[in-house]
Amino acid sequence: MSSFTRKEIGGYFEFEKLTGEGYHKKSVGFNLARTALVAYCREMGYNTIHLPVFLCGSVKRFLELHCITVSLYNIGTDFLPIDLVIDDDDLLMIVNYFNFISDADIASYNEKYNVIVDNTQAYFRDFDFAVPSIYNCRKYFGVPDGAYISELEIDESKYGRDTSMGRFDHLIGRFSSKASEYYREFKTVDESFENSKVMLISKITENILSAVDYDSVKKSRVENYKYLDSKLSEYNLIQNDVKGVPFCYPFLIKNGCELRKYLISRNVYVPCYWPDVLEFDSSSDLEKNFAQNIVHIPIDQRYEINDMDAILQIVFDFLEGVV
């Protein structure tokens, strides 16, 4: 009589199983923030969602692809919504830009509307009250997929699990070599998310996140942010008031788009978030100015104070007209 094991035994080794726990242990993990948002709308029965104009257009396109109606609202200088008109059975997404939005403001909107908080730029932010929140792993860590959503219970058997096969080349490449050599691979992966299925977070991403030293990550980000702010606050047209652990150092000056180009030319890769805003008819002058001239200076856990000094030298060369 022949027999076999259901589990494969022996042979070559897989990626090592790491030990520890992820940060959002009580939340549900999806492959992307946008798929987490679609899943939430489906699970909770929302057919219409209100999003800020000041947001990446891919989010709106993805929601509409999944038959969710999107209504757009503008924001003010405080990054909060203005002129909201919302039906009782609609969902309002508040974006916690740069982790600036206060608990009091979130609570106020949460009392009036059906709210979900986009904490893409605030991975470590939680609240003392119940409000669903989305956290984006890829914006904070070197992982191929991943997002978490709080205050949601699902039947996980309804969803397939992502594997992130084919999304590692840019991560391993940058780890071993230069970012510029693998930028094309990064863009290919990023663009592939436009047509992603709504799936659970991959096991490999959960595995990697279980080994992150989160206390060290927080410490580095806070120290780097505070150091830059101590040197740049007098030039910054944004009144920075970060609530907890920062995402980046948002630096707004009149010719920020030129500073961004100069930093990139000096190997400081600062992204231009939400460039679609410049093309939207519904964008206000304020939102276009934010999209064009806020420079998102990296302050994450990969860097130390000496790296911040190198960035500052480039910024001051620009401000002083040395270039």
**DSSP class per residue in 105-120:** HHHHHHHHS-EEEE-T
Beta-carbon neighbour count of residue 181 at 10 Å? 12
Instruction: Report the pLDDT value the prediction gives residue 2, as an integer from 0 to 100.
Output: 63
Of the residues 176, 209, 242, the one at which a domain ends: 209
Q: Is the domain of 264 the same as that of 308?
A: yes
Element (H, E) at 135: strand 133-136
Q: Is the domain of 205 the same as that of 64?
A: yes
Total count of domains within the chain:
2
Residue 13 covered by a domain: no
Q: Is the domain of 227 the same as that of 157?
A: no
Write the pLDDT tens digit of every residue in 124-135: 999 999 999 999
Q: Rounded distance, CA 244 to CA 218, Å? A: 9
Domain that holds residue 228: 214-319
Pairing of the two strands 91-95 and 115-118: parallel
Q: Is the domain of 92 the same as that of 47?
A: yes
Helix crossing, 305-319 with 214-232: angle to 10°?
30
Mean pLDDT of the chain: 95
Q: Rounded distance, CA 172 to CA 166, Å? A: 11
Write the pLDDT tens digit of every residue in 172-205: 999 999 999 999 999 999 999 998 999 999 999 9
Mean pLDDT throughout 265-277?
A: 94
Residues 6+ apart with CB under 8 A from 101: 79, 80, 94, 95, 117, 243
Pairing of the two strands 81-82 and 91-95: unpaired
Write the pLDDT tens digit of every residue in 281-304: 999 999 999 999 999 999 999 999
The whole-model pTM stands at 0.95
Residue 179 covered by a domain: no
Q: Rounded distance, CA 22 to CA 212, Å? A: 8
Residue whose structure tokens are 């977070």: 201
Beta-carbon neighbour count of residue 17 at 10 Å? 9
Task: Output phi, psi for 270, to 5 deg.
Answer: -100, 125
Residue whose structure tokens are 């909107």: 109
Q: Rounded distance, CA 43 to CA 190, Å? A: 26
Residue 188 covered by a domain: no
Residue 5 covered by a domain: no
Q: Is the domain of 200 the same as that of 238?
A: no
